[in-house]
Amino acid sequence: MSRPVGSRLVRKAVIPAAGFGTRLLPATKAQPKEMLPIVDRPAIQYVVEEALQGELHDILIITGKGKHAIEDHFDRNFELEEELRKSGKTHALAEIRDLTTAGRIHYIRQNELLGLGDAVRYARDHVEAEPFAVLLGDTLLRPSGECLRKLISIHERTGDAVLAVEEVPEDKVDRYGILEVESVEDSEYVVKRIIEKPKREEAPSRLAAVGRYVLIPEIFEIIDGLPPGKNNEIQLTDALHVLATRGRLRACRFSGKRYDVGNRFDYVLTTVEYALDRPDLVGIREALMSILKS
């Protein structure tokens, strides 16, 4: 089947990870929130692995001040590798080598924290004139990779930008970008408009953006022309709304589970749920039940 005019293969992923992580202070005073561990690996590693599972091996991470630990994590550590080799810890050695060789990871620093739209703008030279995926660094999705592959499939069929959405409770619509949509099929929509963190009475639906996007190069020209929006920041939501008015934005309902690791409550729950699914931690459930009963 021929592909629509303007649609191209998606090859690159962009992970914005420049924020301070103030909701997790004091843990994030001296380390990036994206480096806080979920069991035994930092949150951002799950996001990078998701990009790789979506066949996106060219990854740009948007960093900021104090984020050197992210670069160090995905870099080679020859002294550690040699120590693991000498100690016979072959599994751990293979794991950290795979981490540094599975994809090509690049970095650019967002000089000022002017919003997600501004962060995405920093990817312009890297992605050039190609469509690209955006994965928020503090949001994890399970099953990993499935949602991203679906977004890419929709873009390559339609040529449009696409974002993942889920239905949220009415009392939480003021935390998200909320969409007005027209149904195409069960889980796919044409987006008519999108509003950043609307008041409950102004929300057009309960469909909320969940931090996964496939964007088209047209987004950069739109971001350049945007005035500051909510919180005096350049909002990606505002740029997406312009795409919607041009008939170039679609949405796909995400059917798995989303984890927000950017706040204390959800961070703890995420760690527990990931631990419960680990086959090497089979005693966790019983230990937790024992704690809860005591």
Q: Kindly report the CATH number assigned to the domain that includes residue 238.
A: 3.90.550.10
SS3 label, residue 268: helix
Give the separation between CA 195 and CA 208, rounded to whole angstroms. Answer: 10
Is 244 in contact with 157 (CB distance < 8 Å)?
no
Is 33 in contact with 24 (CB distance < 8 Å)?
yes
Give the separation between CA 262 and CA 231, rounded to whole angstroms. Answer: 18
Assess if residue 169 is contained within a domain: yes
**Rounded mean pLDDT, 19-39:** 88
- Please choose, from the candidates 244, 232, 240, the residue with its C-alpha nearest in 3D space to the C-alpha of residue 211: 240
CA angle 183, 185, 191 (to 5 degrees): 35
pLDDT of residue 2 exceeding 70, the answer is no
- Report the mean per-residue pLDDT for the chain: 90
CB atoms within 10 A of CB 159: 17
Band (229; pLDDT cuts 50, 70, 90): confident
Give the separation between CA 51 and CA 147, rounded to whole angstroms. Answer: 10
**Global pTM value:** 0.90
Tell me what pLDDT residue 98 has: 87
pLDDT of residue 132 exceeding 70, the answer is yes
Total count of domains within the chain: 1
Give the separation between CA 212 and CA 46, rounded to whole angstroms. Answer: 14
Our measurement of the distance from residue 277's CA atom to the centroid of its chain's CA atoms, rounded to an integer in Å, reads: 21
Tell me what pLDDT residue 8 has: 63
pLDDT of residue 80 exceeding 50, the answer is yes
User: What does the DSSP 8-state code read for residue 172?
Assistant: G
Band (263; pLDDT cuts 50, 70, 90): confident
Over residues 171-213, the pLDDT tens digits come to 888 888 899 888 878 789 999 999 888 888 888 899 999 999 9
Range of the domain at 227: 12-293
Tokens of 34: 């994206």
pLDDT of residue 3 exceeding 80, the answer is no
Tell me what pLDDT residue 208 has: 92
SS3 label, residue 118: helix
**Rounded mean pLDDT, 48-56:** 93
Assess if residue 7 is contained within a domain: no
Assess if residue 1 is contained within a domain: no
Give the separation between CA 18 and CA 26, rounded to whole angstroms. Answer: 17
- Please choose, from the candidates 173, 242, 241, the residue with its C-alpha nearest in 3D space to the C-alpha of residue 208: 173
Q: Label the pairing between strands 41-42 and 37-38.
A: antiparallel
CB atoms within 10 A of CB 7: 16
**Rounded mean pLDDT, 91-107:** 89
Is 61 in contact with 15 (CB distance < 8 Å)?
yes
Give the separation between CA 13 and CA 51, rounded to whole angstroms. Answer: 7
pLDDT of residue 84 exceeding 60, the answer is yes
Assess if residue 4 is contained within a domain: no
Residues present in the chain in total:
294
Is 170 in contact with 207 (CB distance < 8 Å)?
no
Assess if residue 280 is contained within a domain: yes
Assess if residue 212 is contained within a domain: yes
Report residue 141: phi and psi, to 5°.
-120, 145
Residue 52, classified by CB atoms within 10 Å of its CB into exposed (0-12), middle (13-18) or buried (19+), is middle
Assess if residue 19 is contained within a domain: yes
pLDDT of residue 294 exceeding 80, the answer is no
Give the separation between CA 279 and CA 290, rounded to whole angstroms. Answer: 19
Tell me what pLDDT residue 4 has: 56
Assess if residue 219 is contained within a domain: yes
